[in-house]
Structure 1
């Protein structure tokens, strides 16, 4: 393959989002693990941070002159992973990622959509633009079957579409000693069972916050467990976590108030008996550590992931019902050992599927 190949990676990087940071970390690790001579550059909101943490090059994603230069100089353009191609967050975001793919094709660069979760895309113009762009991409890998179904509904006719798994399944948690030190620093005792709760800011917070707080009280009282609130995106998740903590009437509820790296958060989640979570990657971290979960569904990608791992214990964030949430928590708590064993069996398969992404990317780089 030579020693001067360059890969440029685009994604939602440098925004203090643990899930997206985990994706980049996994992609870089897996590529370097196969060929350490490849030069990797990422488009980032915080290039200095990205270069320091991931030991790669980084370009400011909003300086289009530098972005175009990086595309011209690369040998493979990767878009991914995560939920980049959707218009629920904003049309501007979708257009940004589609434009980068179109530019890469304009400069005759091999292009890969890497383990994406695609959709929803609701606006007609956005659907047409996405279909046209994805039909020209060299390779598309998806993290779930729902995304493949969405592309079929979108009438994407690209023949090189494969369902693999999220890159994060190849990451490992931090050492137990490190996690012990973090929990000590955060004032979290380790004598009782631990249950995690990870939520994000949401339009229906007036209903979400009190019901999650009541559920925390229920868990502490019924299961004689401690609850840890785990923010995944700063500062938004920390803010709503503090609001929930203020509503909890029981003692034994704690919050991870400092920022930690991906492996540390994964290691904290590994300590849990179960987790109740909204953000996709808090659920993915749990799956990698065989921790049973209850999902709070604010986006189709959450439901899609839970179904893909046969963990159907979830309730909608919209108009969240306390009784429904508790019913799911009770089931998962009472059956947690069986659920852990099911996740263990699945973990090996998903790790292999996640590594297929890097094998296909490197094959494309050789061409």
Structure 2
């Protein structure tokens, strides 16, 4: 049995999709999932992720411990979060389990102690794959000697539903300090309507994004899609969209999987890494982010949407193959 750990059960669709990709690769009957909310993660074999009798028993029974997908080793969220995941790795190692990190995004590490903790935790890890070149370079820069496999995000391994494209344009904002995404996305939605599109908002992490999405919807007159009961429902929405503007990483990945080149707003290095991986143009960062800059970027992007979609075919297919290959190697490591 493989004990799979990550940022699961918190209502983040990107992390739940990463879990789905890992569990599908390993086989659900071979996995126990540590999650904050077993009902939300919808896995038949789930245990509470926080220190508990259940979790301890699951670790004892497991032959392998896997941290699957996401950006788990970073201290931008908090140092406490990093300590938690490092402690999981070390707990598995103390129990002499096979410990692997699968298709991880690494960093940022803003503290010296964070870099030291990660270097220490990864020294005896049996399997390590990362989702982008930036994570690979960061590992080397902090002195991690463990060999790492370059893959892509785990969600690239998922199959997208086949849907007819519509005039829907998906907007995926998130709150960000010292910026005004509400004003920027509201003006963008109004512009999209004038261009003949139907802008719709999706909250990729409801507890953080939904109030912002509702504010934008109220001010612009567009709709908030959802709530989605299943991952497939969410993926169908992305499959139907002709345009996607996203701050959230996995909104961009789902768009790419559906053949729609997204306009990404790089609030975090992981979004910049995705832009580079997919060869996307028109990079927009949070530095100097303003309504006019988003409108200008959107107009330039939309004017070449068809060409960008064609270019995306090769890079998205390559990302999918790297994710599938890395998951196959992870399966071999855990003995499946």
Counterpart contact for 1:274–1:332, Cα < 8 Å: no
**Equivalent residue, structure 2, for 1:166:** 153
Q: Write the mapping of 1:1-367 to structure 2, written as runs, cut at 5 A.
A: 6-32=1-27, 39-50=30-41, 53-55=42-44, 57-159=45-147, 161-174=148-161, 176=163, 193-205=167-179, 207-221=180-194, 223-248=195-220, 251=221, 253-366=222-335
In structure 2, C-alpha distance between the alignment counterparts of 1:64 and 1:98, rounded to whole Å: 17
CA distance in 1, matches of 2:172, 2:79: 27
Q: Secondary structure at the match of 1:41?
A: strand
Question: CA offset at residue 224 of structure 1?
Answer: 1.4
Q: Secondary structure at the match of 1:195?
A: strand
In the TM superposition, residue 214 of structure 1 has moved relative to its aligned partner by 0.9
In structure 2, list runs of 5 or more residues that go unmatched.
Answer: none
Partner Cα separation in structure 2 for residue 352 and residue 137 of structure 1: 24
After the TM superposition, list the runs of 4 or more consecutive aligned residues in structure 1 that deviate by more than 6 angstroms. Answer: none
Question: C-alpha separation between the residues in 2 aligned to 1:26 and 1:362?
Answer: 12
Instruction: Report the CA distance between 1:216 and its aligned residue.
Output: 1.3
SS at match of 1:120: coil
| Long gaps (5+) in structure 1 | 1-5, 180-189
Match of 1:183 in 2: none
Deviations 1:219-267 (A, max 9, x none): 211x11110111111132111001112222xx5x221142332222121
Contact 2:259–2:312 (CA under 8 A) maintained in structure 1: yes
Q: Report how far residue 349 of structure 1 moved.
A: 1.9
Kept in 1: contact 2:105–2:132 (CA 8 A): yes
Secondary structure (helix, strand or coil) at the match of 2:206 reads coil
Tell me, yes or no, if the aligned pair for 1:25 and 1:54 is still in contact at 8 Å: no
Query: SS where residue 276 of structure 1 aligns?
Result: strand
Q: CA–CA distance in 1 between the matches of 2:288 and 2:226?
A: 28
Larger displacement relative to structure 2 (9-18 or 288-297): 288-297
Equivalent residues of 1:28, 1:54 under 8 A apart: no
Task: Give the C-alpha shift of residue 338 in structure 1.
Answer: 1.2
C-alpha contact (below 8 Å) 2:175/2:181 kept by paired residues: no
Deviation of residue 318 (structure 1)?
4.5
Instruction: Calculate the aligned-residue CA RMSD, in Å.
Output: 1.9
Q: Is the 8 A contact 2:174 2:209 kept in 1?
A: yes
Task: Give 1:277 shift.
Answer: 0.5
TM-score, normalised to structure 2, is: 0.94
Cα distance in structure 1, aligned partners of 2:43 and 2:91: 25
Structure 1 stretch displaced more, 281-290 or 70-79? 70-79
Mapped partners of 2:229, 2:298: distance in 1: 27
Residue 81 of structure 1: how far off its partner (Å): 0.8
Of 146-155 and 312-321, the range deviating more from structure 2: 312-321
Normalising to structure 1: TM-score of the pair?
0.87
